[in-house]
Amino acid sequence: MSTKNCLNSYLFTLFIVLAISGCDLIRIKETDDDNRVPIARARDQYLYAEDIQNLISEEISAEDSIKRVKNYVESWARKQLLISEASTIIDFDEAEIERKMLDYRYSLMGYEYQKYYIDKNLNKEISEQEVHDYYENNIDNFVLKQNIIRGKYIKVPKEAPSTRRIKSLINSNKAEDFEELKSYCLSFASAYQLYDSVWMVFEDVVKSSPLAEIPNKVQFLKTRKYTENTDDEFLYFLKIEEYRISDNVSPIEFVREQIKNIIINKRKVELAKKLEDDVYQKAKNENEFEVY
């Protein structure tokens, strides 16, 4: 029987089992290997019902259970067939394969313990002073690769009401005008950014707009603080408060989250090293490790 037919046959059997048991876990588990129920075959390798018990639970529907098992069996068959095919082409050193499997097993166990230790002991609190110190000490690593801006950007359909008022609102510094503009954007804008304390990549802001076709964007940023554009469907409004050109140092606000991630990752590395050192030193102190 082909692998596909085995799959279909088993899935039908699984459906019957689930329907009768009300999605109880499959309990087919014989002590005698000869009595195990095969559900798929890939050349001379068999997959048994007991191998997929953990895939079925009362928490998911029969349909989802069947889908999960089908995907697992398909994946299992592909792997077994690949291994079988490889063994006919390559003369494997079984002892070397076994050694690599043990190395992987031990590495995986060590990784899981490190992950557990790090999750338990990692301090995720990062002060502004830490961010500032890291920025100042590594400032050469924060050179901009793109032009960035700080400002307001609004994209509205041409048929939106009162579009003439947008210019005065976007250029105003009054709190009440900002609230009016925010309310307008919530109602009518297709895209907008109103918080001018946020740094944005200029190319990301202007993509899919006429501004994307500007031939000299550096010159544009240096000479234009406010611009309006239009195409067949939309009006575009851009007010630039500040800009930075690529190849210059990035403002700290633009890389704050990046720096926080770097600090967190450094802490993880330090914790992993500390764990290894502590385990090693403990073993030496308790005479559980020695070199002859």
Please report the pLDDT score of residue 18 as a whole number. 42
- Please indicate, yes or no, whether the overall pTM of this predicted structure exceeds 0.75: no
pLDDT of the residue at 92: 87
Give yes or no for a contact between 132 and 252, defined as CB atoms under 8 angstroms apart.
Answer: yes
**pLDDT tens per residue, range 266-275:** 999 999 999 9
Q: For the chain, give every domain's residue range.
A: 3-91, 144-244
Q: Amino acid identity, residue 117?
A: Y
**For residue 181, what are the contacts with CB-CB under 8 A and spacing of at least 6?**
154, 166, 169, 170, 172, 194
State the CB neighbour count (10 A cutoff) for residue 259. 20
pLDDT at 33: 56
